[in-house]
Amino acid sequence: MRIGWLAAGLFLFLTIGPANAHRVHEAVTEIRFNERTSEVEIVHRLFAHDLEFAMVEAGMSEDTVPGSSEWNAAADDFLSAAFSFGMNGEIREPDFVGLELEGRFVWAYYVVPAQEAYSEVAVDNRLMMSSFEDQANLTNVFFGETVRTASQTPQNADWAILTP
């Protein structure tokens, strides 16, 4: 029964969502430990229009071409200032890997070198909260097969501590 409701909800999201255009301000972040590379991988999925608007509001020229090296550097600066990450009780600075523009989304990739998988993750995900009072950010942290989610908004923007 639950699978049927899940499938119906997914169908509605995929079919009705595009018809409603872009009405919400949200970002989704995924955090995973990659055993092969010994890195924590952090991926932000953002609406391109929202990111560009927020970057211009923060001082980037409107004439900056999306996808250019100047735009990518500005995006990294903007995103790095709004997202903080910690693991196993230690704040870590993610290293910027790059961006992908895909339709209406921007995918931003970061890594953190790690000798072992984390047992605790702390996130302060304020992506675009300075630009949109209704911004909602979801951070999904993968602990093997277990996923824990933090939901942060301008009204609830404290550090979230996630454990398996």
Segment 109-127 shows an average pLDDT of 96
**Secondary structure (3-state) at 51:** helix
CB-based contact 26:44 (threshold 8 Å): no
**Residue 137 and residue 48: Cα distance in Å, rounded?**
15
* Nearest alpha carbon to residue 41 among 89, 1, 87, 81: 87
In this model, does residue 21 exceed pLDDT 80?
no
Its pTM stands at 0.84
In this model, does residue 13 exceed pLDDT 60?
no
The ranges assigned to domains in the chain are 24-162
Residue 154 binned pLDDT confidence (cut-offs 50, 70, 90): very high
